[in-house]
């Protein structure tokens, strides 16, 4: 075995022992406590830390697993399009342009085509497209921009 591999294995073994020693130290601290109430509190704190971590991980896993396969049902409960009025003067509609809606959402134009359409406080409609895309229409402009929500 090469020296670097053996040094690597030795380091891993040492780290494993040090982490188990650390957890045993906490347990040993509880064992060494002479006052019954303090010892009970020490045990409660020691085991509660482990239980809280495991419970939160399990709840997160349960939530992800509980919605698995229900994507279509969840998507069917969402609206097909949303209407907004955006405040400001706009002339050019181009890729990378950020659009802030009245409710604080921010959308960015992903389409590469640049359009000149001067308008003040335009009404827009954002609708679902194919393959998970979203399309934005500006009232009075016969063109759909591909957009993505960033906030």
What are the tens digits of pLDDT across the range 42-59?
A: 878 877 766 555 556 556
What are the tens digits of pLDDT across the range 84-100?
A: 999 889 999 999 999 99
Residue 21 vs residues 27, 39, 51, 91, 151: alpha-carbon distances, Å:
10, 19, 20, 67, 46
What are the tens digits of pLDDT across the range 97-118?
A: 999 988 889 999 999 989 999 9
Q: Could you give the strand order of the β-sheet that contains 134-138, starting from the edge strand earlier in sequence?
A: 81-85, 123-128, 134-138, 144-149, 106-109, 98-100
**Where residue 38 falls among pLDDT bands split at 50, 70, 90?**
confident
Least confident of 1-15, 64-78, 116-130: 1-15
Contacts of 105 by beta carbon, 8 Å cutoff, 6+ apart: 149, 151
Return the closest-CA partner of residue 90 out of 147, 150, 146, 141: 141
What are the tens digits of pLDDT across the range 121-133?
A: 999 999 988 888 9
Least confident of 28-37, 40-49, 137-146: 40-49
């Amino acid at each position: 075995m090469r020296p670097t591999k053996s040094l690597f294995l030795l380091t891993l073994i040492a780290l494993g022992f040090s982490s188990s020693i650390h957890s045993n130290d906490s347990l040993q601290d509880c064992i060494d406590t002479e006052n019954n109430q303090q010892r009970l509190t020490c045990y409660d704190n020691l085991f509660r830390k482990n239980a809280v971590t495991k419970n939160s991980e399990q709840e997160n896993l349960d939530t992800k697993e509980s919605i698995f396969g229900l994507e279509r049902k969840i998507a069917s409960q969402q609206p097909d399009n949303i209407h907004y009025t955006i405040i400001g003067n706009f002339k050019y509609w181009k890729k990378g342009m950020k659009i802030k809606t009245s409710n604080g959402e921010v959308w960015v134009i992903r389409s590469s085509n640049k359009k000149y359409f001067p308008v003040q406080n335009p009404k827009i409609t954002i609708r679902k497209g194919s393959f998970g895309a979203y399309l934005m229409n500006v009232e009075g402009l016969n063109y759909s921009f591909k957009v993505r929500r960033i906030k």
